[in-house]
């Protein structure tokens, strides 16, 4: 199989074309990584820390080139692409400190004599499977903690983001076989999760569930971050103009192609009418050609755009009303107008499935209770935003919402890489990514009992 990626803003622009290596070659890469891992761990904390710091420096030194590649390969608007590059360097730097951190604790023995130690050790080879939508940040927020803790890494990126992943590994400049990128699709991904000692997946729910089944059957630690169907709750006391601006960005920023993008807006009570008007206006403004390119950008493929337009058409046929967008602009790229629909009936796929595009439905709720019930009415509970001036309301909502991440007066999309990241219910499986949680995930804890030689038996 040949892996290709095309520029979503100009599909005639072929970004990369490489041969996928096939399953046997992936197994060989895993074995080489396993051999290299021993030396990587033995090199010690200072060497690993320095290597991760150099990886950060290389990203910073090539920031413009990388941002251009992200724009070209996955259609990310330039400002967001530059932000992702900066964040990627920051993630390398953050985890560059981790090798110096504690790797365990000491305890008293129950009997009094001797000493108990806990010690965290790397698993071996971390198999990472990543999506295309954050082609630098997601691979690095998995690879950096895995490497910091002494694992070797084999990364299988999404085909659509192959060039970004290959350049990332090249710039990292780690010792041979410590960080390897294998291009490819399902065959290479499956071979990787069948051989790796720990697996971290980010992508769609359907693929994630298959990855979980394979790895749990092997008894290998796995985490999977999957699709979201994210809600925003707007209370009557919210700053409606601010909320509308944030929601427009959460719906249409990078064409809604973030797992944390908002796709359901729930207006509570008297918020409904002013929000409906303000949000429709804000999204309509983003359909202007310059804003469409600067904020929204194209979707990843013509198939993705067709799926979105078919969903909009079927909602309209079922009685929905277009409040903003709904159309496809002229031109070559895979653009679609940021779209807001009202009156989408319960049970319609736009209310139950992730479509991964700049399309949202507007719903109304009589009060906070009903809004929470609507927000929780999904298996894909990743991120929810709550817009209110009242702290009690915000805290009450945060207590009762199922989502893995709750953001108050902020768009649902947005991540702080030093805190645990992940979804609830079908949106996430296994321990959290990022922050210190990631260091635990990429290590196994051992208990060591030390008794004095020649002491009581
Ligand atoms: P995808 O599920 O199609 O692909 C993800 C990765 O899995 C790719 O590398 C793909 O090649 C690989 N893959 C496909 N079949 C496989 C198999 N049988 N075995 C092993 N690997 C296999 O997802 P995508 O289209 O690349 O990304 C978009 C999806 O990712 C959306 O659903 C989005 O919500 C999700 N996502 C989730 C998060 C999160 O943290 N929750 C973050 C970003 C994206």
- The residue extents of the domains of the chain are 2-226+427-450, 230-408
CB 413 within 8 A of CB 261: yes
What is 370-407 written as a DSSP string?
HHHHHHHSSSEE-EEEEE-S-HHHHHHHHHH---SEEE
**CATH classification number, 2-226+427-450, choose in 3.40.50.2000, 3.40.605.10, 3.90.1150.10, 3.40.109.10:** 3.40.605.10
How many A from CA of 427 to the centre of ligand 1? 12
Please state the separation of Cα 328 from the chain's center in Å: 27
pLDDT tens digits along 157-213: 999 999 999 999 999 999 999 999 999 999 999 999 999 999 999 999 999 999 999
Query: What percent of the chain stands above pLDDT 70?
Result: 99
- Cα torsion 161, 419, 205, 156 to 10°: value is 30
Centroid of ligand 1 to alpha carbon of 186 (angstroms): 10
Residue 227 alpha carbon, nearest atom of ligand 1: 34
Task: From the candidates 84, 259, 296, 354, give the one annotated as an active-site residue.
Answer: 259
* Closest atom, ligand 1, to C-alpha of 228: 34
Confidence of residue 253 (pLDDT cuts 50, 70, 90): very high
CA distance 323 to 402: 28
Helix (H/G/I), strand (E/B), else coil: 156:
strand
132 Cβ closer than 6 Å to some ligand 1 atom = yes
Ligand 1 centroid–CA 55 distance in Å is 25
The pLDDT tens digits of the residues spanning 314-327 come to 999 999 999 999 99
Active site residue 296: no
- Ligand 1 neighbour 254 (Cβ under 6 A): no
Task: Give the residue-averaged pLDDT of 434-454.
Answer: 95
pLDDT the model gives residue 456: 60
- pLDDT-based confidence at 415, cuts 50/70/90? confident
Q: What is the mean pLDDT of residues 365-377?
A: 98
| Mean pLDDT calculated for residue range 91-99 | 98
Write the residue with the smallest CA distance to atom 26 of ligand 1: 131
pLDDT number for residue 452: 93
**Confidence check: pLDDT of 414 > 90:** no
Phi-psi region of 34 (alpha: psi -120 to 50; beta: other; left: phi over 0): alpha
Active-site residue, selected from the candidate residues 225, 337, 354, 433: 225
Mean pLDDT over residues 84-107, rounded? 97
Residue 160 CA: nearest ligand 1 atom is 26
pLDDT above 90: percentage of residues in the chain = 97
**Nearest atom within ligand 1 for CA of residue 207:** 2
> How far apart are the CA of 354 and the centre of ligand 1, in A?
13
Q: Is the CB of 207 under 6 A from ligand 1?
A: yes
- Mean pLDDT value across residues 331-345: 96
Cβ–ligand 1 contact at 203 (below 6 Å): yes
Is the confidence at residue 457, as pLDDT, over 60? no
Q: Which among 311, 337, 336 has a CA at the least distance from the CA of 323?
A: 337
Tokens of residue 370, six digits: 């009903």
Give the residue, by CA position, lying nearest to ligand 1 atom 39. Answer: 225
**CA–CA gap between residue 152 and residue 148 (Å, rounded):** 9
Q: Does the Cβ of 423 fall within 6 Å of ligand 1?
A: yes
Instruction: Look at residue 421 in the predicted model and tell me its pLDDT.
Output: 93
Q: Which CATH superfamily is domain 230-408 in?
A: Aldehyde Dehydrogenase; Chain A, domain 2 (3.40.309.10)
Active site residue 445: no
Q: Ligand 1, atom 21: nearest CA belongs to which residue?
A: 189
Q: What is the tens place of the pLDDT at every residue in 282-318? A: 999 999 999 999 999 999 999 999 999 999 999 999 9
């Amino acid at each position: 199989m040949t892996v290709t990626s095309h520029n979503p803003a100009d599909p005639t622009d072929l970004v990369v074309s490489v041969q996928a290596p096939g399953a046997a070659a992936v197994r060989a890469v895993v074995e080489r990584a396993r051999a290299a891992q021993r030396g990587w761990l033995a090199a010690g904390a200072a060497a690993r820390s320095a290597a991760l710091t150099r990886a950060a420096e290389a990203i910073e030194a090539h920031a413009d080139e990388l941002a251009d590649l992200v724009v070209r390969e996955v259609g990310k608007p330039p400002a967001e692409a530059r932000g992702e590059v900066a964040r990627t360097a920051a993630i390398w730097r953050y985890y560059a400190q981790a090798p110096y951190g504690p790797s365990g604790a000491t305890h008293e023995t129950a009997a009094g004599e001797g000493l108990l130690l806990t010690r965290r050790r790397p698993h071996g080879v971390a198999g990472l499977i990543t999506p295309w939508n954050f082609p630098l940040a997601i691979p690095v927020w998995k690879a950096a903690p895995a490497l910091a803790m002494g694992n070797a890494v084999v990364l299988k990126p999404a085909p659509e983001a192959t060039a970004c992943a290959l350049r990332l590994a090249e710039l990292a400049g780690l010792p041979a076989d410590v960080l390897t990128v294998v291009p490819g699709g399902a065959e290479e991904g499956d071979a990787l999760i069948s051989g790796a000692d720990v697996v971290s997946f980010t992508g769609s729910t359907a693929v994630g569930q298959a990855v979980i089944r394979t790895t749990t059957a092997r008894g290998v630690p796995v985490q999977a971050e999957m699709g979201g169907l994210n809600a925003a709750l707007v209370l009557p006391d919210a700053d409606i103009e601010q909320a509308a601006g944030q929601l427009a960005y959460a719906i249409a920023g990078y064409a809604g192609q973030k797992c944390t993008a908002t796709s359901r807006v729930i207006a509570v009570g008297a918020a409904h009418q002013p929000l409906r008007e303000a949000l429709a206006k804000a999204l309509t403004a983003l359909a202007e050609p310059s804003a469409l390119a600067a904020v929204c950008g194209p979707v990843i493929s013509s198939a993705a755009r067709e799926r979105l337009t078919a969903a909009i058409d079927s909602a309209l046929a079922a009685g929905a009303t277009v409040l903003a967008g709904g159309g496809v602009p002229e031109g070559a790229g895979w653009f679609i107008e940021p779209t807001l629909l009202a009156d989408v009936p319960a049970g319609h796929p736009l209310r139950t499935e992730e479509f991964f595009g700049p399309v949202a439905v507007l719903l109304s709720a009589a009060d906070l209770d009903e809004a929470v019930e609507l927000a929780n009415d999904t298996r894909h509970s990743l991120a929810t935003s709550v817009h209110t001036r009242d702290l009690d309301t915000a805290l009450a909502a945060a207590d009762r919402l199922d989502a893995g991440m709750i953001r108050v007066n902020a768009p649902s999309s947005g991540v702080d890489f030093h805190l645990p990241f992940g979804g609830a219910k079908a949106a996430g499986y296994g321990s959290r990514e990022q922050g210190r949680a990631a260091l635990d995930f990429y290590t196994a804890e051992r208990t060591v009992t030390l008794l004095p030689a020649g002491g009581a038996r």
